Amino acid sequence: MRIAALADPHIEEPYMSIERLEKIVEQTNNTKPDIIVLLGDYVAGHNFISRHLSVRSAAKIFARLKSPLGTYAILGNHDWWDDPVAQETRQGPPLAQKDLEAEGIPVLENSALKLSHQGKSFWLLGLEDQYAFQDSVKGYIGRDNLPKLMSKITDDAPSILLAHEPDIFPKVSSKISVTLCGHTHGGQIRLFNYSPIVPSRYGNRYAYGHIIEDNKNLVVSGGLGCSILPVRFGVPPEITLIDLA
């Protein structure tokens, strides 16, 4: 089964215009994936922009993604942080989720779906964001509930976990076949497999690529857009393709 993962587009102009996003969607479709997953952070992550673009405009483009099993999304921290009402009330859904769902793209909120590919069943799990709410005392408060999510698995079919931030990985059960994450942009600046700044408490440990620990598999996408600064060096934007036997 081929999975196409699109992470961290951070929709804004000039770096991630609608025209560029249309090309990304076309390129993704051309890879002939069996399923497509969107790994969060649709909202722009920096202020060096010429024009804000709505997630709704991007969602209309994402709705053109084509695969036999469909397109599924999770949210990222910026999708929560950019919504002042969600931050004040500490409740969702945030605007980004409403925009995606309005275009027919399901957003998984600590949700488990059982799907089938070539007659074989598997679970698609979507973890809510681990840093959804900014808090002056605690720093961040997440909406993730991994134990509750795992309790929704009712058989031994393989499981694929979507989680925006890779920091959850040490807590992930060996029952999960592969965990797919974004958030880090591969460090956004990377030299000799090292990034000086990685938005993770684990630093470069989960910055980018395919990581195997304790017989568990993690794939961290380099993502598409930029956060903090509109600069990428040594880690180009990517459509991440995962082929599972």
161-190 confidence digits (pLDDT tens): 999 999 999 999 999 999 999 999 999 999
Q: Where in the sequence is the domain holding 158, given as residue range(s)?
A: 2-243
* Cβ–Cβ under 8 Å, residues 198 and 184: yes
Looking up residue 222, the CATH number of its domain turns out to be 3.60.21.10
Query: Is the model's pLDDT at 122 over the cut of 90?
Result: yes
pLDDT for position 4: 98
Q: Would you tell me the crossing angle of helices 55-62 and 18-30 to the nearest 10 degrees?
A: 20
Give dist(CA 30, CA 146) in Å, integer. Answer: 34
Q: What's the mean pLDDT when you consider all of the chain?
A: 96
Query: Is the model's pLDDT at 43 over the cut of 80?
Result: yes
Total residues belonging to the chain: 245
Our count of domains for the chain comes to: 1
Q: Would you tell me the crossing angle of helices 95-102 and 55-62 to the nearest 10 degrees?
A: 30
Query: Is the model's pLDDT at 245 over the cut of 90?
Result: no
SS3 state of residue 110 = coil
Residue 87: φ, ψ to 5°: -65, -40
DSSP state of 160: E
pTM of the model: 0.96
Tokens representing residue 240 in the block:
């991440």
pLDDT for position 229: 84
Give dist(CA 197, CA 166) in Å, integer. Answer: 15
pLDDT for position 52: 81
More confident residue, 33 or 44: 33
Select from 46, 34, 99 the least CA-distant residue to 73: 99
pLDDT for position 48: 80
Residue 33: φ, ψ to 5°: -75, 155
Select from 121, 128, 105, 125 the least CA-distant residue to 176: 125
| Per-residue confidence band for 47, with pLDDT thresholds at 50, 70 and 90 | confident
* Cβ–Cβ under 8 Å, residues 13 and 47: no
Give dist(CA 135, CA 77) in Å, integer. Answer: 13
Give dist(CA 190, CA 79) in Å, integer. Answer: 25
